[in-house]
Amino acid sequence: MFAMFLKLEKRRVLVVGAGAVAEGKIRGQLDAGASVQVVGPKAAWQIQKWAWEGVVDWKPRTFVPSDLDTVTLVIAATSSREVNSRVFTEAQTRKVLCNAVDDPGNCDFYYPAVVNRGDLQIAISTNGRSPALAQRLRRELEEQFGPEYEEWVAELGETREQLATKKIPLEPRKQLLHALASQDAFANRNKAHGEQLMATGTVFLVGAGPGDPELLTLKAAKVLRAADVVLHDELVGADILRLILPTVKLINVGKRCAMKSMPQEDINRLLVDYAKLGLQVVRLKGGDPFIFGRGGEELETLRQAGIQVEVIPGITAALGAAAGIQVPLTHRELSSTLILVTGSSKHSEHIANWPDRLPSNATIVVYMPGHDLGALQPRLLNAGLAPETPCAIISSATSDAEQVHITTVGHLHSSPHLSAPRLVVIGEVVRFADPNRLRQQFNEFNFSPRYAEVSPNTRESAE
């Protein structure tokens, strides 16, 4: 294979097919500045939107050979191998490069797995033999080449342009550019950048998301790479902690039920003390720091101490858990209200205060519901929820250890015990849970026949 990076700006690209697969291919072409024509009888909503906005030219019909006229390249992304093959054959007669999705025999080129850091792009190809390996290598390279490389490459480009305008002999100029692009120069740059941040004594309150390391934000990953000290929760996964450099001081300040843990006052003191040393301090929390994460208490302490604070939000557990089983937390006909509550309280061993009445059209997500879900059941019933209201108990959401149990409010007391961290999603939207994903859980928990009463329905029957 001949590897190259192709300029497609203002060049005409044809995409045959207008479904979900085609949508992903179109995005890449638009990012490259191509003029995209789409041919397909029916189009996905996003492609229709692009057509309405004039971003793409969509022709709602089947492919004809003349569509290939004046085209630089074509992507066949229909659900029919016969149509894709015909597009490839016609493209060959016109000497137009073609890619038929998931059909290596009808491809002139393959889509690589790409690490994109602005002007720095790293493309990985296995010649179509193992896209899965290419994706794994891409993930590894994304960890190695963090977001900071985008800024560095931009700086190198500006320096190169400036040197080109000066009367410097070619060989010394070449040596200087190579020295500026060296690993040592990169390390010194990051060190200087870190020292500039450290002088301010900044504390970053960072959300690590629900568990899946790929749900960590790019900004969070960037701050972690530049940290001096990281105080992390017990629930922050090992895959995320591996993003932190080995020279960083790691302190586990997590709190787990029935286990000895560091008092919040001591955590606050550590944040202030390390920041006053001029260090860049990261307080890394599972989920989002401002949703049942005690971020508000830490923010108040740091402000009182005159410490500069920046908050980097994360995907909270409710969003990650619901997305993992494909449950929409709101729905125009079923749920117009979303209530996030916690089962724990700072001033009581009992369940925290809730609204006296819960709307029937609400989705309720209970964080930290406690060991005994039987104590949760009467609170829900007394608040007006019907016993047949569906519930999803989700443990270790978005991680490899995720477990899910579907039941009803009336049967919460007999639910199996799932390990922490867990939360409970309650409401009619639970009926949308993906049955294929949940079926893997049935064998594990030996559900009783009454589960059929709340088995996930299709969208049409639920609405």
Distances (CA, A) of 16 to 9, 51, 77, 437: 20, 15, 6, 32
User: Angle 183-198/148-164 helices, nearest 10 degrees?
Assistant: 110
Told to judge if 233 belongs to the known catalytic residues of this protein, a careful annotator would answer yes
CB 32 within 8 A of CB 114: no
Sign of CA dihedral 383, 387, 390, 391: positive
Q: Which of 67, 233, 285, 288 is catalytic?
A: 233
Q: Which of 255, 273, 276, 285 is catalytic?
A: 255
- Alpha-carbon distance of 428 to 391, in angstroms, equals 8
Distances (CA, A) of 271 to 232, 246, 275: 11, 20, 6
Beta strand 337-342 with 403-408: parallel, antiparallel or unpaired?
Answer: unpaired
Distances (CA, A) of 188 to 180, 181, 192, 193, 201: 10, 11, 6, 8, 20
| Type of residue found at 133 | L
Distances (CA, A) of 2 to 108, 109, 377: 11, 9, 63
The DSSP secondary structure of 102-124, one letter per residue, reads T-GGGBSS-PPEEEEETTEEEEE
- Alpha-carbon distance of 182 to 187, in angstroms, equals 9
Told to judge if 103 belongs to the known catalytic residues of this protein, a careful annotator would answer no
- Alpha-carbon distance of 419 to 433, in angstroms, equals 20
Task: Give the residue numbers marked as catalytic.
Answer: 233, 255
